[in-house]
Amino acid sequence: MDRQISAVQAIVDRMFAPGDRVRILEAGCGSRSFLRFGPAAYIAGIDISKEQLQKNTLLQEKIEGDIQTFPLPPASFDIVICWDVLEHLPRPEQALNNFLHALRPGGLIVLGAPVLTSLKGLVTKYTPHWLHVLLYRKLIGNPLAGTPGYGPFKTFLKTSMSPRSIYRFADDNRLGIEFFEAYEGLMQQTALRKYRLAGIAFRAVAPLVKLLSFGSIDPRKTDYVAVLRKPRAEHDPEPRVEYALSAQSSERC
């Protein structure tokens, strides 16, 4: 994931100088942030959990609310970051539209989320929440797991947050795709190394699944990162796609 974060950070750094008064919204902020901004930046965070907001020390403004429905002020942020949150929403498309409404022209939406059609995505979607909590408590050893403000959070993994839907959302709203990458997360890499035989079998079968699904399902890609850019004005040409969409079209799931 470090590589993907560095790529997103590079886009942000290219767009904004350290002295710029950039306005950032961390949507589903939780208690941490991946991107770094200069000292003049103003960072607001919205989260449905007041416990998560309390733990967050990076924010100048804290909003307790649902990102799908909260009336965000129009055209008021330069960047909306939504990291590891879309999978927790029953209506991700509403959140995406809300972000677009709150974004100023030329601004960026940064998304990070799991891929539903990956092994991790399917297992997460089709196993009950109580099992996730149990695994966090027993395997990760966090006795507070599942209590207010502590993950795992309930997961919906709706198709409207799949990479394909994100591309469609971008097309429908004339958003440029500054960056898109689907990748294999650390958890899967570690598990496949640990359980060698299962790992070998998975690595052998995964390309076959990709082939048989005409490239639309690749079980190796567990997560994706996307950076979308709102056009500056109605008549502006669509922003340049920096990381060739066509070259990566097989990454759409």
Footprint of ligand SAM (CB under 6 A): 28-30, 32, 46-49, 52, 66-68, 83-85, 88-89, 151, 153
- Considering the complex, state which of residue 49 and residue 216 has its C-beta at the smaller distance from ligand SAM: 49
CB 154 → ligand SAM: shortest distance, Å? 8
CB 91 → ligand SAM: shortest distance, Å? 9
CB 18 → ligand SAM: shortest distance, Å? 23
- Considering the complex, state which of residue 161 and residue 217 has its C-beta at the smaller distance from ligand SAM: 161
Q: Which residues of 234-244 are buried (b: 16+ CB within 10 A; e: fewer)?
A: eeeeebebbee
Residue 85 near residue 58 (C-beta atoms within 8 A)? no
- Closest residue to ligand SAM using C-beta atoms: 30
CB 160 → ligand SAM: shortest distance, Å? 14
CB 247 → ligand SAM: shortest distance, Å? 28
- Considering the complex, state which of residue 49 and residue 250 has its C-beta at the smaller distance from ligand SAM: 49
- Considering the complex, state which of residue 5 and residue 122 has its C-beta at the smaller distance from ligand SAM: 5
CB 43 → ligand SAM: shortest distance, Å? 13
- Considering the complex, state which of residue 88 and residue 132 has its C-beta at the smaller distance from ligand SAM: 88
- Considering the complex, state which of residue 67 and residue 72 has its C-beta at the smaller distance from ligand SAM: 67
